[in-house]
Amino acid sequence: MKAIDELKECEESAMTHTEHVVDGMPTARGCPFSPPEELGALREERPIARMTYPDGHQGWLVTGYELAQEVLADVAFSARHDLRSSPIVMGGKLGPAQPGMFIGMDPPEHTRYRKPLSRHFTVRRVRELEPAIERIATACLDALEAGGSPADLMAAFALPLPVLVICELMGADADLAAELQKLRVPMLSAATPRAEVAAAARRTSELMHELVRARRAAPGDDLLSELIAVGELNDEELAGLTFLMLVAGHETTANMIAMSVYLLLQDEKARAALGDGSQVGDQTVNELLRYLSVVQFVSRAALKDVEIGGVLVRQGETVTISTSAVNRDGRRFEDPDTFHAEGGGVGSLAFGHGLHQCIGHNLARTEIRIALRLLLRRFPGLRLAASPQDVRTREAMNTYGVHELPVSW
């Protein structure tokens, strides 16, 4: 009888929350560096709230840190694309994840693809990559300087750097890397027609298949060649895995670099604290990741009825976690709405949590740190070359950031 009474209490609690339904996920920002104000209000009032998704689905929105951790750590919540609704308007519902695209899978499929990659992204392995990352970043800065002031930092530096790092990791040659850079630009804009996005995605997939065939025919000293040598994955899976590494390995990092620079160009105190870039350390990067939270949300689907935060989440319902809101939770972070250049972002959910935590988080942190250090050293007089109100941001997209970042020096 006690269990039945508890279930009734959960259902009554869920009904209470249903009376306050959020109509879609808030995305409009008053400040480019802060989450939508509605998310902060929700976090204080109802850290898990009923939400109507764009496709009409009735699910949930989580804005509290502890609840977010709980959802991300619970295997009762699935990462499968085909089970989840999107909190933002998309061209259509995602189908099952393609071979190799393990971020949209659950174990054991997720484990099968992720495990062979894990040892390539440890702290030690990423540290070994630092000279190559510095070389690539320096070459990008050389090109930026040669192009003259003013320039678009996003297109000339923030985007090419992570693309070229991933290409080097996978053994792609210069021509392939150049074509991939061109293909990624239209795919990062919400204004790009869907037909053009689809065409760019198809061409990117073709290039990944070509790269797999090239590395199988002539192995090199690269990650893809090692995966081929292990022999556990077929070419379709390897191409999908390579595609995933390219997309996941550059979009968030590129936007984090650009948004970090944008913040420093607007925050004189933070800029002064970091000086010539030598003060940009891992703690600074962690705080940037927390404060900016460019991955705006992650979603999961309940595989069974689950009680969480005083509500009953029914099997099949989607739960979306607002990363930008949970990383500003004052119950977890001190003075959360202030950027602390000396650090303070340890424990943020910028890279997720649990078994689906981003496998490339060590690499991304290193790229951001090196990019900011070298950029501030090279261009001590760097400044914004446009009015802040003219800098267009990517609000209603999974990955937040800027479309362009005009700078001069």
pLDDT tens digits, residue range 31-61?
999 999 999 999 999 999 999 999 999 999 9
Residue-level pLDDT at 189:
67
Average pLDDT over residues 66-81: 97
pLDDT tens digits, residue range 8-20?
444 444 444 445 7
Using DSSP's 3-state secondary structure scheme, residue 115 falls into: helix
Q: In what order do the strands lie in the sheet with 58-62?
A: 22-23, 48-52, 58-62, 318-322, 297-302, 77-78
Average pLDDT over residues 280-308: 96
pLDDT tens digits, residue range 164-212?
999 999 999 888 888 887 887 776 666 778 888 888 889 999 999 999 9
Average pLDDT over residues 281-300: 96
Structure token digits, residue 221: 């000293």
Q: Which residues contact 315 (CB under 8 A, 6 or more apart)?
A: 302, 303, 304, 305
DSSP-H helix ranges across 59-122 = 65-73, 109-118
Residue-level pLDDT at 390:
95
Tell me how long the chain is.
409
- Domains identified in the chain and CATH numbers: 2-408 (1.10.630.10)
Are 363 and 371 in contact by the 8 Å Cβ rule? The answer is no
Given a cut of 50, whether residue 348 has pLDDT beyond it is yes
DSSP 277: T
pLDDT tens digits, residue range 349-385?
999 999 999 999 999 999 999 999 999 999 999 999 9
pTM of the full predicted structure? 0.92
pLDDT tier at 345, thresholds 50, 70, 90: confident
- Alpha carbon distance 209, 115 (integer Å): 21
Residue-level pLDDT at 7:
40
